[in-house]
């Protein structure tokens, strides 16, 4: 995945599976720092204080993430590591996972534990809301009314989010484009307006489209 795009958890999720009468309860939540991740782990531990194990894993950061995990009493490498591999395998950033286990009386063995902790983490992620945030640059394009139809068509076909359209003597489109596409879009806009459009570049910001709405600073 591009260093200018990141998959993050937008809303936390919870899921439960059973394996030979053992209950595995997964909680997945967003966390911006290791302190937030550890605080979430402690919260779940207090909530399930009577459980035998509260295993956890987290991936914090974007370019060089902090990766940590714990088996919390399970055999080494059977819980925290497979949980962390699920998070990194799905390229999730700034996320913490805690899987609580209530022992059902039957030993699962190394392979059984790895499968159970992997599956419960996967199910927890499925119950969450994941979004991709993208580093974009705001752009403002002003053109005449005759050209505006071509610009509207271009933004629609290239899926460029239009934040606002201002109608005065001319038409101004306030947009945001992934930074890696800005030069290409600038060329397309100039061609569509036959060089008569006025394009101004603004600030860069991370954004994501959620339920049809553009949200910033995620």
pLDDT, one tens digit per residue, over 33-89 is 999 999 999 999 999 999 999 999 999 987 668 999 999 999 999 999 999 999 999
In this predicted model, what pLDDT tens digit does every residue of 154-202 receive, in sequence order?
Answer: 999 988 899 999 999 999 999 998 998 899 999 999 998 888 889 999 9
Residue 64: the pLDDT is 60
Separation CA 9–CA 4 (nearest Å): 16
Give the residue ranges of DSSP H helices in the chain: 34-47, 80-89, 109-126, 145-157, 182-192
Percentage of the residues of the chain whose pLDDT score is greater than 90: 70
d(CA 31, CA 164): 32
In 3D, which of 28, 32, 33 has the Cα closest to residue 57?
A: 28
Distance CA 92, CA 111 (A): 24
> What pLDDT is recorded for position 27?
98
Over residues 81-90, the pLDDT tens digits come to: 999 999 999 9
Average pLDDT over residues 212-216: 83
Q: How far is residue 18's CA from residue 4's CA, in Å, rounded to a whole number?
A: 39
pLDDT cut 70: percent of the chain above it = 97
Q: How confident is the model at residue 1 (pLDDT cuts 50, 70, 90)?
A: very low
Question: Average pLDDT over the chain, rounded to whole?
Answer: 92
Q: Is the pLDDT of residue 3 over 60?
A: no
Closest of 65, 114, 116, 71 to residue 91, by C-alpha: 65
**What does the pLDDT average to over 81-105?**
94
- Is the model's pLDDT at 13 over the cut of 50? yes
pLDDT recorded at residue 99: 98
Confidence of residue 98 (pLDDT cuts 50, 70, 90): very high
Mean pLDDT of 133-159: 92
């Amino acid at each position: 995945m591009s260093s200018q795009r990141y998959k993050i958890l937008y809303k936390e999720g919870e899921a439960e599976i059973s394996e030979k009468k053992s209950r595995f309860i997964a909680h997945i939540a967003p966390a911006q720092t290791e302190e937030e991740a550890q605080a979430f782990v402690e919260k779940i531990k207090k909530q399930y204080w009577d459980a035998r194990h509260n295993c956890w894993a987290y991936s914090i950061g974007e370019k060089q993430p902090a990766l940590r995990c714990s088996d919390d009493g399970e055999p080494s490498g059977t819980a925290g590591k497979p949980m962390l591999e699920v998070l990194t395998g799905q390229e999730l950033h700034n996320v913490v996972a805690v899987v609580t286990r209530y022992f059902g009386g039957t030993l699962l063995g190394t392979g059984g534990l790895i499968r159970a902790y992997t599956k419960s983490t996967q199910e927890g992620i499925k119950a969450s809301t994941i979004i991709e945030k993208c580093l974009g640059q705001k752009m403002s394009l002003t053109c005449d009314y005759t050209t505006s139809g071509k610009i509207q068509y271009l933004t629609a076909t290239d899926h460029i989010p239009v934040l606002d359209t201002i109608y005065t003597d001319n038409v101004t489109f306030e947009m945001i484009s992934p930074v890696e596409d800005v030069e290409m879009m600038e060329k397309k806009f100039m061609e569509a307006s036959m060089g008569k459009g006025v394009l101004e570049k603004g600030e860069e910001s991370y954004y994501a489209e959620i339920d049809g709405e553009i949200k910033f600073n995620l």
